[in-house]
Amino acid sequence: AGQTTHSQVVVLGSGPGGYSAAFRAADMGLEVTLIERYSSLGGVCLNVGCIPSKALLHVAYVMEEAHSASAVGVTYAKPEVDLDKVRAFKDNTVKKLTQGIQGMAKGRKVKVVYGYGEFAGPNQITVDNDGVKTEITFDHCIIAAGSQSVKLPFIPHDDPRVLDSTSALELKEIPKRLLIVGGGIIGLEMGTVYEALGSEVSIVEFADQLVPAADKDLIAVYSKFVKDQFNVMLSTKVTAVEAKKDGLYVSFEGKNAPEGQQSYDAILVAVGRSPNGKKIGAEKAGIQVDERGFINTDNQQRTNVPHIYAIGDIAGNPMLAHKATHQGHVAAEVIAGHKCVFDPKVIPSIAYTNPEIAWTGLTEKEAKAAGIPYKTAVFPWVASGRALGAARSEGKTKLIYKEDGTLIGGGIVGINAGELLGELSLAIEFGADVEDLALTIHAHPTLHETVGLAGELAAGTITDLP
Ligand code: FAD
Give the per-residue pLDDT at 272. Answer: 97
Q: List C-alpha distances in Å: 99 to 34, 56, 94, 196, 426.
A: 15, 20, 8, 30, 31
Q: What is the pLDDT of residue 190?
A: 98
Cα distance between residue 37 and residue 3, in whole Å: 17
Q: pLDDT at position 275, please?
A: 98
| pLDDT score of 2 more than 80 | no
For residue 220, give the nearest of 380, 447, 64 by alpha carbon: 380
pLDDT classification of 3: cutoffs 50, 70, 90: confident
Q: Which residue owns the Cα nearest ligand 1 atom 18? A: 117
Find out whether 185 is annotated in a ligand binding site: yes
Ligand 1 center–CA 179 separation, angstroms: 24
pLDDT, tens digit, for every residue of 410-445? 999 999 999 999 999 999 999 999 999 999 999 999
pLDDT in tens, 231-283: 999 999 999 999 999 999 999 999 999 999 999 999 999 999 999 999 999 99
186 is in an annotated binding site: yes
**At residue 207, does pLDDT exceed 70?**
yes
Query: How many residues are listed for the chain in this entry?
Result: 466
Q: What is the ipTM of this complex?
A: 0.99
Between 466 and 447, residue with greater pLDDT? 447
Expressed in angstroms and rounded, the spacing between residue 43 Cα and the centre of ligand 1 is 5
d(CA 24, CA 26): 5
321 is in an annotated binding site: yes
Query: Would you call 438 helix, strand, or coil by DSSP?
Result: helix
Q: Give dist(CA 174, CA 252) in Å, integer.
A: 24
For the CA of 320, the closest atom of ligand 1 is: 45
Mean pLDDT of all residues in 210-220: 98
Provide the pLDDT for residue 1.
Answer: 54
Backbone angles phi, psi at 117, to 5 degrees: -100, 135
Parallel/antiparallel/unpaired status of strands 177-181 and 349-351: unpaired
- Summarised one tens digit per residue, pLDDT across range 30-67 is 999 999 999 999 999 999 999 999 999 999 999 999 99
d(CA 121, CA 351): 40
pLDDT band at 463 (very low <50, low <70, confident <90, very high): confident
Determine the Cα–Cα distance for residues 461 and 466; give it in Å rounded to an integer. Answer: 15
Residues 6 or more apart in contact with residue 200 via CB below 8 angstroms: 176, 177, 178, 231
Ligand 1 atom with minimal separation from the 38 CA: 11
| 424 closest CA partner among 445, 401, 395 | 401
Tell me the catalytic residues.
444
Asked whether the whole model's pTM tops 0.95, one would answer yes
- Cβ-in-10-Å burial (0-12, 13-18, 19+) of 246 comes to exposed
Angle between helices 16-27 and 321-335 (to 10 degrees): 30
Q: What separation in Å is there between the alpha carbon of 277 and the centre of ligand 1?
A: 13
pLDDT at 267: 98
Average pLDDT over residues 280-305: 98
Q: Could you tell me if residue 205 is left (phi over 0), alpha (psi between -120 and 50 degrees) or otherwise beta?
A: beta
